[in-house]
């Protein structure tokens, strides 16, 4: 597809500086720009690439003031990063969609299949399932009995949705993820063995949830494990049974959430964050990478880091002391020797 700077500026409600008729047919990082490419500049660290890029069009913030001449045509917008994301979304939506049901797919007679769907090779759709209009189920997807997919869901290859689970409108689940596997429920017995506790609940994904690759979301023991509207989960995340994740919360890769923990809305978790079970995390909480949370976070919009996690400024001050511990240890040893010497005298 090919667009002029004028058509792009019109879509983004931007202002053009340069040739309004110049055309682009691809996208590229600003440092890897080429003729016919569209790039963007949002982070000041990349500004120096602007003056040497070969991209034909570059999106910049309206407030941006170039330090020297720029050969590319500029389109000024309120937020260059958001504008670029909007364009990527437009290009993605313009791609042709697969439709139809492959001959190797197995769909039980009691399942209800919407219109304009794609069901790929070797997909299984169980008894009494509902697949909404516009859904795409790629090869080797498994949908267990009584599960329900809202409209326009995308399940990528190898996704497994266990029985009785519910996915809202516009959910995306990436390859290899498992929705509704049994929670880790075992009761210790007197003979040191463990009895499995049946996991009779389900998983509910509300609208526009996106799940990365190889994520596991366990079904509830009773009731539901709930992922609220707009949540985004990175790859390799574990969500245990009866957890609730609030609206528009985002989690980076390898995060693990223990059972029955309740997470507020608009939270942000870095990579490898770990939460203990049966705790509550306030709205807007930000947790740095590898943060370990052992108890409730009660104050909203708190930023914490470390394991056990503490407030960021306190963590940074503590880090300075930690780096000085060897030196402090040497001084203490020296002082102890002086004290012992004085005692002998």
The single residue of 163, 208, 241, 278 carrying the catalytic annotation is 241
189 — pLDDT class (breaks 50, 70, 90) = very high
319 — pLDDT class (breaks 50, 70, 90) = confident
340 — pLDDT class (breaks 50, 70, 90) = confident
User: Which has more pLDDT, 339 or 176?
Assistant: 176
Q: Which pLDDT does position 20 carry in this prediction?
A: 96
Q: What is the mean pLDDT of residues 316-339?
A: 87
* Closest alpha carbon to 227 in 198, 199, 257, 252: 257
Q: Which pLDDT does position 161 carry in this prediction?
A: 98
CB 295 within 8 Å of CB 279: yes
- How many angstroms separate the CA atoms of 121 and 126, rounded? 15
CB 150 within 8 Å of CB 117: no
Q: What is the mean pLDDT of residues 198-213?
A: 98
Answer whether residue 199 shows pLDDT above 80. Answer: yes
Q: Which pLDDT does position 274 carry in this prediction?
A: 97
Answer whether residue 104 shows pLDDT above 80. Answer: yes
237 — pLDDT class (breaks 50, 70, 90) = very high
338 — pLDDT class (breaks 50, 70, 90) = confident
Q: What is the mean pLDDT of residues 106-113?
A: 98
pLDDT in tens, 17-75: 999 999 999 999 999 999 999 999 999 999 999 999 999 999 999 999 999 999 999 99
Give strand pairing partners of 99.
Answer: none
Q: What is the mean pLDDT of residues 188-202?
A: 94
pLDDT in tens, 127-156: 999 999 999 999 999 999 999 999 999 999
Answer whether residue 179 shows pLDDT above 90. Answer: yes
Q: What is the mean pLDDT of residues 196-213?
A: 97
The 3-state secondary structure of the chain, one letter per residue: CCEEHHHHHHHHCCEEECCCCCEECEECCHHHCCCCEEEECCCHHHHHHHCCCCCCEEEEECCCCCCCCCCCEEEEECCHHHHHHHHHHHHHHHCCCCCEECCCCEECCCCEECCCCEECCCCEECCCCEECCCCEECCCCEECCCCEECCCCEECCCCEECCCCEECCCCEECCCCEEEECCCCEEECCCCCEEECCCCCEEEECCCCEECCCCEEECCCCCEEEECCCCEECCCCEECCCCEECCCCEECCCCEECCCCEECCCCEECCCCEECCCCEECCCCEECCCCEECCCECCCCCEEECCCCEEHHHHHHHHHHHHCHHHHHHHHHHHHHHHHHHHHC
- Strand bridging mode 292-293 / 26-27: unpaired
- Tell me which architecture the domain covering 100-314 has in CATH: 3 Solenoid (2.160)
Who's near 82: CB < 8 A, 6+ residues apart? none
Who's near 140: CB < 8 A, 6+ residues apart? 120, 121, 122, 123, 157, 158
Domain 3-94 of CATH type 3.40.1390.10? yes
Answer whether residue 1 shows pLDDT above 80. Answer: no
- How many angstroms separate the CA atoms of 96 and 138, rounded? 15
- Check if 241 is active-site: yes
Q: Domain limits of the chain?
A: 3-94, 100-314
Percent of the chain with pLDDT over 90: 85
pLDDT in tens, 88-98: 888 888 788 89
């Amino acid at each position: 597809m090919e667009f002029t700077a004028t058509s792009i500026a019109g879509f983004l409600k931007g202002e053009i500086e340069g040739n309004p008729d110049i055309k682009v047919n691809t996208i590229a990082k600003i440092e890897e720009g080429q003729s016919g490419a569209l790039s963007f500049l949002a982070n000041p660290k990349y500004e120096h690439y602007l003056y040497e890029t070969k991209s034909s069009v570059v999106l910049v913030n309206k407030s941006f003031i170039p330090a020297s001449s720029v050969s590319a045509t500029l389109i000024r917008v309120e937020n260059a990063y958001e504008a670029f994301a909007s364009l990527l979304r437009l290009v993605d939506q313009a791609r042709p969609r697969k439709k139809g049901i492959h001959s190797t797919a197995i769909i039980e007679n009691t399942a209800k299949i919407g219109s304009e769907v794609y069901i790929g090779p070797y997909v299984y759709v169980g008894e009494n399932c509902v697949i909404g209009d516009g859904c795409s189920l790629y090869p080797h997807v498994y949908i267990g009995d009584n599960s329900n997919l809202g409209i326009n869901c995308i399940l990528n290859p190898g996704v497994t949705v266990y029985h009785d689970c519910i996915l809202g409108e516009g959910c995306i689940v990436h390859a290899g993820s498992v929705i509704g596997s049994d929670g880790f429920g075992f009761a210790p017995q007197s003979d040191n063995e463990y009895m499995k506790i049946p996991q009779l609940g389900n998983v509910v994904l509300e609208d526009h949830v996106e799940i990365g690759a190889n994520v596991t979301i366990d079904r509830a023991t009773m009731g539901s494990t709930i992922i609220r509207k707009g949540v985004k989960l990175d790859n390799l995340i574990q969500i245990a049974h009866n957890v609730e994740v609030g609206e528009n919360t985002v989690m980076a890769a390898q995060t693990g959430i223990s059972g029955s923990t309740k997470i507020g809305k608009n939270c942000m978790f870095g990579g490898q964050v770990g939460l203990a079970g049966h705790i509550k995390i306030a709205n807007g909480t930000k947790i740095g990478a590898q943060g370990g949370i052992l108890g409730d976070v009660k104050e909203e919009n708190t930023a914490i880091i470390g394991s056990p996690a503490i407030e960021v400024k306190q963590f940074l001050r503590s880090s300075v002391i930690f780096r000085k511990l060897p030196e402090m240890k040497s001084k203490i040893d020296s002082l102890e020797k002086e004290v012992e010497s004085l005692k002998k005298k």
